[in-house]
Amino acid sequence: MPPPTVPFFLTSTTLAAAAAKPQRPGPPSPPAQQQQPREARDGSRDACASYTARMRLNPQLALRLFDHLLRSGADPDHVAYALALGRCARGRDRRAAAQLHSHAAKRGAASHRRVCNGLIHAYAVCGSLLDARKVFDRGHEGDAVAWNSLLRGYAAAGDVNALREFFVGMQARDTVSWNTIIAWCVENGEYEEAIAVFREMLASMECLPDRVTLVSVISAITYLGALAQGLWAHAYVCRKGIEVEERLSSALINMYSKCGCIEGAVHVFENLGAQMNVDTWNAMLAGFTANGCSEKALELFARMEITGLVPNKITFNTVLNACSHGGFVEEGMGCFERMTKVYGIEPDIAHYGCMVDLFCRAGLFDKAEKMIQMMPMKPDAAVWKALVGACKTHRNFELGRKAGHMLIEAAPNDHAGYVLLSNIYALDGNWTGVHKVRKLMLDRGVQKVPGSSSIEIDGVIHEFISGDKSHSSKEDIYEMLSEMCQQLKVAGYVPDTSHVLLDIDDEDVKESSLALHSEKLAIAFGLISTAPGTPIRIAKNLRVCGDCHNAVKLLSKIYGRCIIVRDANRFHHFREGSCSCGDFWTVYSGSRESSALTSTRWPAADSSYPAPVDNKL
C-alpha cells in the first residue's frame, strides 16, 4: 500500500528535515546507511541503542524520545519504530502511527517484521482496521503477533461474525489469540460464552492457558456468581502452577467475594505473601464491604496504613462505602478528612456520593444536604439516588419528592428514579402522584427491568423471572413454593404488601405477586435440588425487596440453610433467621452494636474455607 502522505511527525521540523537528508536519494539507490562511513554508522547505531533503551524504560515518553533521536541525527532502527508505534497504540494515536508509517516507508524500514507488527497493532487498536489489514496483507504471513494484532482489531471493531471468521481461519492460534476472544466475550457481557471458549481452548490442546486467560475466565465466573466453577478455576491455577501475581490475586479475591464466599477471599488474600499491591488490598476491602463486613473492612484499612501502603482513590471509595453500609458516621467523616489532608487526594463525585449516602442512611439529612451544597461539581444520579432511597426508608416524603424529581432529571432513562419516586408517593398514599410518575415514565418510553434471580446447580445456571413457569421442573418448584408459604405462615410471617406499590386494593393479588418474586422461585428450586444443610447461593439483578428480605430470613431458619443472595448492590447472608446486612438497608437502627454483624460471624481464614476441588468445569 502507499504509505500515508502525512509529511511530518510530532514537531514538524524533525521528520521533514530527516527525510530531506541529502545523503538519502530516492530508489533505486541503495539505502543511505550503506553510503555512510563506517564510524558514522557505528555512532548512529550506538546513539539509537541508547535511545531505544530509554524508550523501553519510559514507554510513556517513547514518542518524545523518538523525536529526540531524529533530532540527534541518528537513524532509527526497527526497534525504535516498534517502540514508538507501541506508544501510539497505547495512546490510541492514529495520526502519530500514520506519520511513523510514512517515515519508516521513506527509510525503507516499513517492511521490517517488527515495524509491520507495530503498525498492524497500532492501526487495529485505533480503529483503522482497513489500514491494519493492508499492512498485514503485504506483510509476514504466519507471524503470530501480526495475526493476533489483527484479531485484536476485529475484536475492537465489534463485528462478531468477522471476528469469529478471522479467528477460525487463523493459521496458528496461540494463547494470546484465545485470550483475545475470551476477553472480548467478558467485555461484551457474554460470560457463559467466555467460559465456553475457555473449554474449547482446553479441548483444542493448541496451547496452554496462562494467567491472563485465568483472569478473564475468573472474571466471567464472577459476573455469573458461579462459585463451583470459581473453585475449579482456582484449583486449576494451583494445579498448573500459574503464577498468582497482583492481577490474578485481585481477580480471585473478587471472585470469592462476589460469589458470597468471603472466607475464600480472605484465604487467598492472607496467603499471598509478597504478591500484593494497592489493588489487591482494594479488592479485599471491597469484598468485606459488599459482604456486609464493614468492621472488617475498617480493620483491614487500618492494617493497610500500618504496612505503609499508600491508599488511592479507589481505596477511599471502598472504605467510605464500608462506613456508610456499616453506619460508621464518625469514622466516615474521619476518613474523608484524612483522604484530603493526609493523602492529598481530591475527592471526586464518587467520594461525595459515599458521604451523602453515609449521612442519608443515618437519617442525618441536614448533613447530607450540606454535603451536596459544598460539592464543587453538579450532583449526579447516584447522589440523588442515595438521598431518595434514604428518604423512602426514613419516610421523609417532602425531601424525597424533591430529590426524586432531581433524580429523574439527572437520569431520565433509568427506570430506578421513576420507581423510587413513585414508591415515595405510594408510601405517602398519594396515588395521583404515583400515576403522574408512571405516565411520565411511559411517555418517555422508559422500561422497567424485570427482576431475575439465578442459581447454579451442578455447574448449570438456572435463571428465574417473577412468576416464571418455563423451568422443566416447574411442578416441583411450585409445590415447594407453596410448602414454603405454609411454613412461613406457621412461623408467623405476614406478607409486607407495602412493597407491592401498585394501586391495587386486593390484598390477595398483592400477596400472590410477592410470593412469586424471582428469588423465592430460585430458593424453592435450590431447596429441592441440593442436599439438606447445603448453602443456597442466589444472584439477583435488582435489589431484594423488603418483603423477600423478611421471608428469606425466616426461610433460612425454617430450613436450616444459609442462603446467600447477591443483589445489584451487595450480598445478604441469611443465617438462622437474620441477615449479615443487619437490615441496615431497610431500617437504620442507629447504633453500631445493633448491627447483626459481629466479628465472630465469619470463621477464621481457613477454618471453613472449602479447599479448591478438582470438579469438572
Minimal distance in Å, beta carbon 478 to DNA? Answer: 36
Minimal distance in Å, beta carbon 198 to DNA? Answer: 13
Minimal distance in Å, beta carbon 152 to DNA? Answer: 5
Q: Which DSSP state fits 577?
A: T
Alpha helix segments (H runs only) across 91-174: 94-106, 113-125, 129-137, 144-157, 160-168
Minimal distance in Å, beta carbon 98 to DNA? Answer: 16
Buried b (16+ CB within 10 A) or exposed e, 42-56: eebeebbeebbeebe
In the complex with DNA, the residue whose CB is nearer, 246 or 428, is 246
CB atoms within 10 A of CB 433: 18
State CA 13 to chain mean position distance: 44
Tracing cell 453515609 back to the chain, one arrives at 358
**Residues composing the chain:** 617
In the complex with DNA, the residue whose CB is nearer, 291 or 550, is 291
Quickly list DSSP for 363-427: T-HHHHHHHHHH-SS---HHHHHHHHHHHHHTT-HHHHHHHHHHHHHH-TT-HHHHHHHHHHHHH
The cell for 486 is: 405454609
The cell for 289 is: 464491604
Minimal distance in Å, beta carbon 407 to DNA? Answer: 13
In the complex with DNA, the residue whose CB is nearer, 221 or 426, is 221
In the complex with DNA, the residue whose CB is nearer, 408 or 527, is 408
Residues with Cβ within 8 Å of 52's Cβ and at least 6 positions away in sequence, in order, are: 77, 79, 80, 83
The cell for 551 is: 421471608
Minimal distance in Å, beta carbon 482 to DNA? Answer: 37
Minimal distance in Å, beta carbon 395 to DNA? Answer: 21
In the complex with DNA, the residue whose CB is nearer, 296 or 561, is 296
The cell for 499 is: 412493597
CA distance 472 to 529: 13
Residues with Cβ within 8 Å of 267's Cβ and at least 6 positions away in sequence, in order, are: 256, 605, 606, 609
In the complex with DNA, the residue whose CB is nearer, 125 or 542, is 125
The region, left, alpha or beta by phi > 0 then psi within -120 to 50, assigned to residue 273 is left
In the complex with DNA, the residue whose CB is nearer, 15 or 265, is 265
In the complex with DNA, the residue whose CB is nearer, 282 or 529, is 282
In the complex with DNA, the residue whose CB is nearer, 86 or 225, is 86
CA distance 578 to 329: 23
Minimal distance in Å, beta carbon 370 to DNA? Answer: 17
The cell for 303 is: 492494617
In the complex with DNA, the residue whose CB is nearer, 90 or 557, is 90
CA distance 439 to 444: 8
Residues with Cβ within 8 Å of 89's Cβ and at least 6 positions away in sequence, in order, are: 97, 118, 121, 122, 125, 126
Task: Write out the residues near DNA by the rule CB under 7 A.
Answer: 56, 82-83, 86, 89-90, 113-114, 117, 121, 125, 143-145, 148-149, 152, 174-176, 179-180, 183, 186-187, 210-212, 215-216, 219, 222, 246-248, 250-251, 254, 278-280, 282-283, 286, 289-290, 313-314, 317-318, 321, 324, 349-350, 353-354, 357, 380, 382-383, 386
Minimal distance in Å, beta carbon 78 to DNA? Answer: 8
CA distance 125 to 287: 33
In the complex with DNA, the residue whose CB is nearer, 319 or 426, is 319
Minimal distance in Å, beta carbon 144 to DNA? Answer: 5
Quickly list DSSP for 297-323: HHHHHHHHHHHTPPP-HHHHHHHHHHH
Minimal distance in Å, beta carbon 585 to DNA? Answer: 11
Helix (H, G, I), strand (E, B) or coil at 578: strand
Minimal distance in Å, beta carbon 211 to DNA? Answer: 7
In the complex with DNA, the residue whose CB is nearer, 321 or 518, is 321
Tally the C-alpha atoms within 13 A of residue 565's C-alpha that lie toward its C-beta: 33
